[in-house]
């Protein structure tokens, strides 16, 4: 199967972009991920950093990755049921290990579980339009459930939104000391994630995968449309997406990130805008690919996309080492954490470029493919990564 270089580039951007948000999940208490006022009134630089990320990155790169995941499922359908089930089951196992022993912010487990459901829907819906519309409907159901949670939630801030001093101290304790205590807390986070996946986020994730599958099926994710189409689509989607989200971002700030509004009601505009902005980013890449292809940085980013699993877990290893094992947890504010991101990106870019000069696949991609083939009853003959 011939690789789509533009898709590799977009996937690489998604992996690198995810770190813009995850860095605060590594370096600050979990409440800081969405709430800049987790420890009182934030500084101006902290609030501005949050606002910029909210508009440009929050949910956007995860959404883009989910769309590409669905596109990948569509591409892998010819390999058959056993291959897909084995591949996604191994992703669930990787995600479980990652979430339990490394970092509680894992996304692999959720993608694997929902993928096991979504691939059948992508396969069985005969009409591309119906597949796309069903995906949109499922995504909107997830947004509706989020609003319902806002209606039934207590007006008092949850500890996950506004933790007390003892909560913050305990989180720092188990993250810095590790051991069985850390495993137990990560297991609690994992249980909460699975509940959220079944009740709300799973609807959105399945919807995005179906939309991605439909866009791969009709050729949009294959670059089959004109450059003019992609550029015009990017302008429309980005303008509409930011028009929806900008008022909600400003209102959260105006309301001092009040719990019920910011955790539920004003998350909905962000969720509505995220697919539009994410697809706008992808459309920019397709629309300006001749110009992008001439840049020296483009090839390393493509390499990151080809080694997406390896690079995602590499980010975890680097950040958990820095913040937990070297004790830098809660030593930086949001803006300072963002300044560390390019250093991790550099590690992603260098490792990917150097590795793919010698091998055809990343080390974890090779392992994933090898285990998938064995589980599906189709052993590979490759003796080393990428061969």
Helix residue ranges, H only, the chain: 5-27, 44-56, 60-76, 81-101, 108-124, 128-152, 165-177, 179-196, 202-217, 227-254, 259-260, 267-287, 289-293, 298-306, 308-320, 334-358, 363-375
What pLDDT shows up at residue 173?
96
Query: Is the Cβ–Cβ distance between 65 and 309 less than 8 Å?
Result: no
Residue 385 pLDDT > 60, yes or no?
Answer: no
Question: Is the model's pLDDT at 382 over the cut of 50?
Answer: no
Q: Phi and psi of 144, rounded to 5°?
A: -65, -40
Question: Do 30 and 74 contact (CB within 8 A), yes or no?
Answer: no
Whether 380 shows a pLDDT value over 70: the answer reads no
Q: CA neighbours within 13 Å on the CB side: how many for 200?
A: 15
Instruction: Assess contact for 233 and 283: CB atoms under 8 A.
Output: yes
Of 50-64, 251-265, 348-362, 368-382, the one with minimum mean pLDDT is 368-382
- The model's pTM: 0.95
Tokens 């028009």 sit on residue: 243
pLDDT tens-digit readout, 268-282: 999 999 999 999 999
pLDDT value of residue 2: 61
Span 156-168, average pLDDT: 91
Tell me the two tokens of residue 31: 């409440």
Dihedral over Cα of 204, 253, 46, 188: its sign: negative
């Amino acid at each position: 199967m011939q690789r789509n270089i533009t898709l590799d580039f977009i996937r690489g951007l998604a992996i690198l972009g995810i770190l813009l948000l995850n860095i605060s999940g590594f370096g600050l208490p979990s409440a800081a991920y969405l709430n800049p006022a987790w420890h009182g009134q934030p500084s101006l630089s902290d609030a501005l950093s949050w606002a910029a990320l909210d508009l440009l990155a929050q949910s956007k790169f995860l959404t883009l990755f989910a769309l590409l995941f669905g596109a990948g499922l569509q591409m892998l359908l010819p390999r058959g049921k056993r291959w897909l089930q084995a591949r996604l089951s191994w992703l669930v196992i990787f995600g479980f290990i990652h979430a339990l022993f490394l970092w509680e912010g894992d996304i692999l487990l959720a993608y694997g579980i929902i993928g096991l459901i979504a691939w059948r829907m992508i396969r069985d819906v005969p009409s591309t339009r119906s597949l796309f519309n069903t995906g949109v409907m499922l995504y909107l159901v997830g947004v509706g459930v989020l609003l319902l949670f806002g209606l039934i939630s207590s007006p008092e801030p949850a500890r996950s939104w506004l933790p007390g001093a003892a909560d913050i101290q305990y989180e720092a304790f188990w993250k810095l000391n590790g051991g069985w205590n850390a495993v137990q807390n990560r297991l609690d986070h994992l249980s909460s994630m699975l509940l959220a996946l079944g009740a709300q986020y799973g609807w959105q994730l399945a919807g995005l995968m179906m939309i991605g599958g439909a866009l791969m099926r009709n050729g949009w994710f294959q670059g089959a449309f004109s450059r003019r189409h992609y550029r015009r689509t990017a302008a429309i989607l980005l303008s509409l997406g930011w028009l929806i989200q900008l008022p909600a971002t400003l209102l959260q700030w105006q309301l001092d990130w009040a719990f019920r509004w910011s955790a539920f009601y004003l998350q909905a505009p962000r969720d509505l805008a995220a697919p539009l902005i994410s697809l706008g980013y992808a459309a920019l890449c397709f629309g300006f690919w001749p110009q992008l292809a001439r840049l020296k940085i483009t090839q390393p980013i493509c390499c990151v996309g080809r080694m997406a699993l390896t690079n995602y877990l590499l980010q975890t290893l680097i950040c958990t080492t820095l913040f937990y094992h070297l004790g830098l947890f809660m030593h930086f504010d949001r803006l300072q954490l963002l300044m560390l991101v390019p250093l991790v990106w550099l590690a992603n870019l260098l490792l990917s470029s150097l590795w793919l000069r010698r091998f055809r696949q990343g080390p974890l991609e090779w392992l994933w493919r090898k285990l998938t083939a064995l589980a599906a009853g189709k052993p590979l003959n490759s003796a080393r990564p990428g061969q």
